Structure 1
Amino acid sequence: MKGKMIGEGTRPLICTPLVGKTKDIILLELVTVLEKEPDIIEWRVDFFTQIADTAAVIEVAKAIRNAAGSIPIIFTIRSIREGGQPISLSDREAIELNAAICKHTDVEYVDCELSNEPENIKYLREVARQNNTKIIASFHNFDYTPGKDILLQKFVDAQEYGLDVGKVAVMPKALDDVLTLLSVTLEARRKVKIPLISMSMGGYGAVTRMIGGVFGSSLTFAVGQNASAPGQVPIDDLRTVLHIVEKSMGR
């Protein structure tokens, strides 16, 4: 029996990242994260020094999956152009690594950046469908917050590609940008049928990690041991805030 999947229930799920560079460090990090009882765990594979070794990646993914019990896993290779770590893989090689995870592990989700070539996205979609793996279609901008129309289109694109979850994460320069992100999330929730994830990063955007669920975001990221993006809140603090928001709104 798997735990809750993205889009289930009314409260946004809490996801914590694993960002270790080696298998031993990752598994030690996982022990700490599991003590915090997150709803979902994301393995940020772009931090892993052996990312070019498919067999090693699969081995660690299986170890994480086994240790996590009923907690779903997200497998993520974040490209440097979208705020990730420098890696030796080409875009196509990263897609193939995602495909290998779909084929050879029981990981529930793989992340696919919408900046990938359409043929790569469609290829991964078919592999994922054949192996009962879900795809999070993601867009990240660590420099600024694009306009409302652009962000809304990213959610629409995720649905039109036939992917399972749409995700947008952007960097605000001012509080107005935070309002843009929340407004787009609310509009997208009304226009698309797939679950959504959205967040504004950094200090200005930290509030979106706490109240994004009110506007339609189905998942929020929190620190278990180490952060994977600026503005992430410690998981215990975030869980308290989500409970207060839920109780205040009578949910």
Structure 2
Amino acid sequence: MTLGTGRPKIAVPITGKTASEIIEQAKTIASKTPDLVEWRIDFYEDVTDAQQLVTTGKQLHDTLGSIPILTTFRTKGEGGELQLSDDQYFEICKTVITAGFTDALDVERYHDEASVKALVNKAHENQVVVIMSNHDFDKTPDQTDIVGRLTSMVELGADVAKMAVMPQSADDVLTLLAATNQAHQELDQPLITMSMGDLGKVSRISGEVFGSCLSFGSVGAGSAPGQISLDDLRHDLNDLKLS
């Protein structure tokens, strides 16, 4: 699977709290054949147990077969489920990188930059793709700020730069779309952007026009406000595809 070409790809999140819930969700999701699965390990109750994390990750990999895995620990400050220190966050990410079960890792942009760079290098040494991210659940920054954040991710070595924002108005959604279009023209790396909530749903289906290469759809429980079901999202993206 190649991000950044053709129709935006679709990722479906797994948010199970136990190993058995995770594997059951994976079986259901695999039957729907999304392009990518995002394992939200901040939902997993044993995420801080390295051995259990690796064991479950390998079971998940086996269950999904050829479907690529993006592994994400979303910190509390960016909308995640569990409060961790930066040291704990980076240790969990390192465990994921070296375990061999994931194809890509989400790395949050706004941690210590030296630690972020070191994590990016370690991921690349282990052939793990880095999707660097920033999530603003309170507001939509201005267009220059959004483009600047995405640009800084690329400068830090991201293979894909991701930004999610919360709109308070239709103008905010337009700001996110304009920023996406600008960054898509200025940066070589693929981008993932979205405006969250009901107001922002249009941004989840218009990526092919504005330059966002991946959209997140749900099978069962979603992981963020405004996610559209996989079946509906697939239909919408196909309807809006460029000839």
Provide TM-score, normalisation by structure 2: 0.97
For residues 6 and 214 of structure 1, what CA distance do their matches in structure 2 show? 15
Match for 2:90: what amino acid? Answer: I
C-alpha distance after superposition, 1:112-151 (max 9, x if no partner) = 1111110110110121121111111101001110111111
Partner of 1:205: 200
Match for 2:2: what amino acid? Answer: M
C-alpha distance after superposition, 1:37-56 (max 9, x if no partner) = 10000000111111110111
Match 1:114 to one of 98, 106, 109: 109
Q: How does 1:1-251 map to 2 (within 5 A)?
A: 4-7=1-4, 9-87=5-83, 89-246=84-241, 249-250=242-243
Provide TM-score, normalisation by structure 1: 0.94
How far residue 36 of structure 1 moved from its aligned partner, in angstroms, is 1.4
* More displaced 10-residue stretch of structure 1: 97-106 or 42-51: 97-106
SS in structure 2 of the partner of residue 204 of structure 1? coil
SS in structure 1 of the partner of residue 81 of structure 2? coil
Q: What's the C-alpha RMSD, in Å, of the aligned pairs?
A: 1.0
Corresponding pairs, count: 243
How far residue 106 of structure 1 moved from its aligned partner, in angstroms, is 3.4
- The answer to whether the 8 A contact 2:27-2:64 is kept is no
- The answer to whether the 8 A contact 1:32-1:225 is kept is no
For residues 86 and 215 of structure 1, what CA distance do their matches in structure 2 show? 33
SS in structure 2 of the partner of residue 143 of structure 1? coil
List alignment gaps of at least 5 residues for structure 1: none
C-alpha distance after superposition, 1:86-110 (max 9, x if no partner) = 23x3112211211111112131111
Match for 1:224: what amino acid? Answer: V
How far residue 5 of structure 1 moved from its aligned partner, in angstroms, is 3.3
C-alpha distance after superposition, 1:188-212 (max 9, x if no partner) = 0011111100000000001111112
- The answer to whether the 8 A contact 1:209-1:221 is kept is yes
Which of structure 1's runs of 4+ aligned residues deviate more than 4 A? Answer: none
List alignment gaps of at least 5 residues for structure 2: none
Match for 1:6: what amino acid? Answer: L
SS in structure 2 of the partner of residue 21 of structure 1? coil
- The answer to whether the 8 A contact 1:111-1:137 is kept is yes
> Alignment identity in percent?
38
- The answer to whether the 8 A contact 1:165-1:196 is kept is yes
- The answer to whether the 8 A contact 1:213-1:219 is kept is no
For residues 103 and 149 of structure 2, what CA distance do their matches in structure 1 show? 22
Match for 2:152: what amino acid? Answer: D
For residues 69 and 32 of structure 1, what CA distance do their matches in structure 2 show? 13
- The answer to whether the 8 A contact 1:102-1:133 is kept is yes
